[in-house]
Structure 1
Amino acid sequence: MLKHETINYLEFPAKDLAATKAFFSQVFHWSFEDYGDEYSAFSESANGQSATGMMGGFYQADLMSTTAKGGALVVLYSEKLEQTQAKIEQAGGAIVRPIFSFPGGRRFHFIEPSGNEFAVWSDRS
């Protein structure tokens, strides 16, 4: 369900659109729909419907989004932080900030195949 004045869609650059799609499909089970050769929309579930309302897309570009360059940080949630980290590493993601504690939980940061930085957090130990 769409909610008035909330974030509804996120777009990211992707140097290697195919590798980025494969990574997020393998690790987070996102589904993709291509719109030409240079854009692919994603949703968090296999049927194209997102329980949280988060959907977005990747567009072909030589750019990348990292916190070091002032980019916004998208933080995903995991009930099993170490297991999610292992899946990310197995799929070719690079851990750029290992698991650390903060008030309310723990998290780590990673870079996906196109160079964009994301984080994963958990409120479970």
Structure 2
Amino acid sequence: MSEQVKLDYVEFAAGDLEKTKRFFTAVFDWSFQDYGDDYTAFENQGLNGGFYRAELCSTAENGGALLVFYSADIEATYKKVEANQGVIIREIFDFPGGCRFHFTEPSGNEFAVWSASR
């Protein structure tokens, strides 16, 4: 891996920063640092990043990058996503090497979760 240039930060639009923050805190145990009313940042999640207030969202269908979480217990993560206003948009499916599902968080951004086994 290049030490000179590497991926370091990702940003997403979020129509409702408070709902988005509550979702990621409840499901993935993230913490946030607010920078004014229109930006919040997260760190130490494998890739640092933030959410900025805008009525847009990122979906793979529209050409957005798909960020994929790893979970040792995909069923438990699936239930936490559902219980915290996430919307499952692709049910758990198998692929060579594991399984995964896709969801949107409350501001509409699409993510996926994969696991080596069910």
TM-score over 0.5 (shorter chain): yes
Q: Which residue of 2 aligns with 1:83?
A: 76
RMSD: 1.1
SS in 2 for 1:22: helix
Alignment of 1:29 with 2:29, yes or no, is yes
Count of residue pairs brought into register by the alignment? 116
Pick one of 98, 101, 105 that aligns with 1:105. 98
- 5+ residue gaps, structure 2, are none
Q: Which residue of 1 aligns with 2:5?
A: 5
SS in 2 for 1:72: coil
Q: Which residue of 2 aligns with 1:94?
A: 87
1:33 maps to amino acid: Q
Partner Cα separation in structure 2 for residue 104 and residue 26 of structure 1:
28
Alpha-carbon distance change, 94 to 35 in structure 1, aligned in 2, over 3 angstroms: same
1:5 maps to amino acid: V
Partner Cα separation in structure 2 for residue 97 and residue 51 of structure 1:
23
- Following superposition, which runs of at least 4 residues in structure 1 exceed 6 angstroms of deviation? none
Q: CA deviation at 1:68?
A: 1.0
Q: CA deviation at 1:15?
A: 0.4
Q: CA deviation at 1:4?
A: 3.5
Partner Cα separation in structure 1 for residue 4 and residue 26 of structure 2:
32
Partner Cα separation in structure 1 for residue 26 and residue 6 of structure 2:
28
Alignment of 1:42 with 2:36, yes or no, is no
Partner Cα separation in structure 1 for residue 115 and residue 7 of structure 2:
21
Percent identity between the aligned chains?
56
CA deviation string 1:79-106 (max 9, x = no partner): 0000000000000100000000111110
Normalised to the residue count of structure 1, the TM-score between the two structures is 0.89
1:25 maps to amino acid: T
